[in-house]
A and B are shown apart, each in its own frame.
Chain A
Amino acid sequence: MAVQQAPKVRQTEQSWWARNQRRLTPYIFIAPNMLVFTVFLFVPMVFAIYMSLNEWSLIEAPTFIGLGNYVAMAQDPQFWQSLWNTLLYTAGTVPTSIVIGLVVAIGLNRKLPARGLLRSIFFVPVVISMVAVALVGAWIFDDSYGVINNGLTALGFDPVPWLSSQRWAMVTLVVATLWVRIGFNMVVYLAALQGIPPEVYEAAHIDGATGWNRFWNITRPLLGPTTFLLVILNVIYSIHVFDLIYVMTAGGPGFSTTVLVMYVYQAAFENLQMGYASAMGVVLFALLLAFTAFQWRITRQSEGV
């Protein structure tokens, strides 16, 4: 008897699971990811917003000061300087790396000798850590013994204070960034170019469109969605830049290469201004969201026309 009953019970259990399995499975499958995101991202994000309304040095208990940190931020020249530096760095890296990436992609989309090898070479810096990039950059651009200044001196020019002058340090960082970013943008463009059916060009050829005309009227519009994506990705990368600057210039000389992310880090871990750091972080996040929404609208509009 008992032997017969056992499978019966199991069957009802199974049927409950069978009935609900499909409804519950998705939640079970995404649970590990969601748990990690919640504990290490969403909760800290909410907590950061709350902390931005407090004054807190880690040592004492936090005191609620409302929007005090935001008011202080508006009056902090270093905040504006770091925001300006972020914009400078972004403006220096994003358009240049996208344009050069596109030019290289178009070149390497032609049938040329050893183009596979050339593609690999342009792409290889993408896999290198930013710390290594920063180290080799610091050495190549070293003021006294770097190869570039050695070369300039050998040619009879004055050496350039690449990393020790406020004027040049940002330029140097932008150049080091381009080294990595060009290959990334090239690969994305190359994939998009190869997705354009050759018939499109053949038809244009019959219509007599060549060279620049062909690029401007056919290639450029077809690459629109890719460019849109690359602008967003590159802006995000540029605004997030930390490793490179931390290792290469540490934000200096003076305050000339301290970007917002760097200033947040310094405020939090060097000055122990947790509330203030959080407030700047919230502003940074809002800026990124606003930028993406803005970019989205522009694209929608231009597509509608």
Chain B
Amino acid sequence: MFKLLMSAASLGKQRTTGGLKPGDAAVWVLLVAGALVMLYPIYWMFATAIRPVDALFNGKFDLIPNDFVWSNFVTSWNKLPFEVYYVNSIAIALIAVVVTVFINLLAGYTFAKYEFWGRDVLFFMLLATLMIPIQVIMVPEFFVVAKLGWVNTWWGVLVPRAAEAFGIFMVRQFMVSIPDELIEAARLDGAGEFEIFRKIILPNSWPVIAVLTIFTFMWRWNDFSWPLVVLHDPSSYTVPLGLNLMKGLYFTDWTGLMSMALVSILPMLLIFVFFQRYFVQGIAGSGMK
């Protein structure tokens, strides 16, 4: 199924299908119109970011900028210590990837391949956590983080989110399809349980590792509400918090806001362009069982 999506994703292959039925042509025109609408906000971020500032407030409806002021990016970047926000965001996202992928792989594998007392109850509890809005528990959760001395730190942001129910679920769905015989054969050879995980399971799990890596990075990169609770000192802010601060301070500076919003989504856009199929797998996989 994923191969289908992948091959469909490599565009241009069907471009030569000359005779399009009238019905299909109408559908196609509608879809292209829809796609333009979907693309428009990203284009508008760019078109706003590079425009001369006074061209924003003349009330005219012009979709294509006449002047390109590339220095807007530098000016906007220097309004707030964005380099600090980026260092924080990158560090949090990368450390979170290492921690989350490792512990979710272990747990997902366990739920897929081991029989143990309490398994189904625990798994159900994990899924139920998806329903808890963070605002419900953020007060007590914040106290725990404060007790640990993690306010304004990377750890305060990433450790409470390190165990992702969605990630465990994703890994479990994948690992179920690894044949039991592989594991049993290794056991008969006298391999220890962790050795089996490391030498048999991991090498067979690259697709799910890739999916989980990308999703964890995206979750942490885009996080807003939990960092908002944990990070108070502006020097500990992540990029989304920095953007929110910028909106509070310079709320009519749309050049600055759009240029910095555009820069902030650029890493995710690039990852999306190169690893699109993993996004599709991660999301489609959750819907298929």
Contact = CB atoms under 8 A, between A and B. Distances in A.
Contacts of B141: 40-41, 44
The majority secondary structure among interface residues of chain A is helix
Contact of A117 (B1, B11, B42): B11
Contact of B14 (A111, A124, A131): A111
Nearest to B148: A39
A130 B222 contact: yes
A91 B4 CA distance: 34
The majority secondary structure among interface residues of chain B is helix
A217 interface: no
A136 B39 CA distance: 12
Interface residues of A, number: 101
Contacts of A122: 34-35, 38
Interface in A233-292: 236, 239-240, 242-243, 246-247, 261, 264-265, 268-269, 274, 277-278, 281-282, 284-285, 288-289, 292
Nearest to B27: A107
Given A113-B20, A130-B224, A135-B257, A240 B31 contact: no
Interface in B117-137: 119, 122, 125-126, 128-137
B30 A107 contact: yes
Nearest to B63: A147
Given A29-B110, A45-B136, A247 B244 contact: yes
Contacts of A138: 247
A282 B160 CA distance: 20
Interface string B165-176: 000100000000
A118 B35 contact: yes
Contact of B160 (A36, A194, A225, A230): A36
Contact of B287 (A133, A142, A226, A278): A226
A11 to B, nearest CB: 14
Given A26-B114, A33-B163, A140-B44, A127 B271 contact: yes
A115 B145 CA distance: 47
Contacts of B63: 147
Interface stretch (A72-80, A150-158, A200-208, A295-303): A150-158
Contact of A188 (B130, B133, B225, B283): B283
Q: Which of B32, B128, B272, B283 has the largest number of chain A CB atoms within 10 A?
A: B283
Given A47-B140, A104-B34, A127 B60 contact: no
Contacts of A108: 31
A132 to B, nearest CB: 4
A261 B107 CA distance: 30
Interface residues of B, number: 103
Contact of A127 (B160, B194, B268): B268
A182 B37 CA distance: 12
A30 B131 contact: no
A285 B9 contact: no
Nearest to A283: B136
A140 B261 CA distance: 14
B254 A285 contact: no
Interface in B37-57: 38-39, 41-42, 44-45, 48, 56-57
A99 interface: no
A191 interface: yes
Nearest to A128: B265
B284 A190 contact: yes
Contacts of B20: 112-113
A139 B225 contact: no
A32 B45 contact: no
A147 B9 CA distance: 32
B11 A116 contact: yes
Contacts of B103: 32-33, 36
Nearest to B168: A33
B224 A243 contact: yes
A135 B258 contact: yes
Nearest to B280: A187
Given A22-B193, A113-B14, A33 B114 contact: no
Contacts of A269: 229
B193 A21 contact: yes
Interface in B261-289: 261, 264-265, 268-269, 271-272, 276, 279-280, 283-289
A143 to B, nearest CB: 12
A293 B162 CA distance: 28
A126 to B, nearest CB: 7
A135 B247 contact: yes
Interface string A171-196: 00000000100111001101110110
Interface string B148-169: 0000000000011011000010
A136 B244 contact: no
A294 to B, nearest CB: 13
A129 interface: yes
A150 B247 contact: no
A184 B162 CA distance: 24
27 contacts: A21-B193, A29-B106, A41-B141, A41-B160, A42-B125, A44-B138, A51-B140, A107-B30, A108-B31, A111-B24, A116-B10, A120-B272, A126-B279, A129-B224, A131-B243, A132-B45, A136-B261, A145-B254, A183-B38, A194-B1, A246-B224, A264-B136, A265-B135, A265-B225, A268-B139, A281-B137, A284-B136
Given A150-B61, A184-B283, A264-B135, 9 more contacts: A30-B107, A44-B140, A116-B10, A129-B264, A132-B243, A136-B42, A136-B45, A145-B59, A191-B280
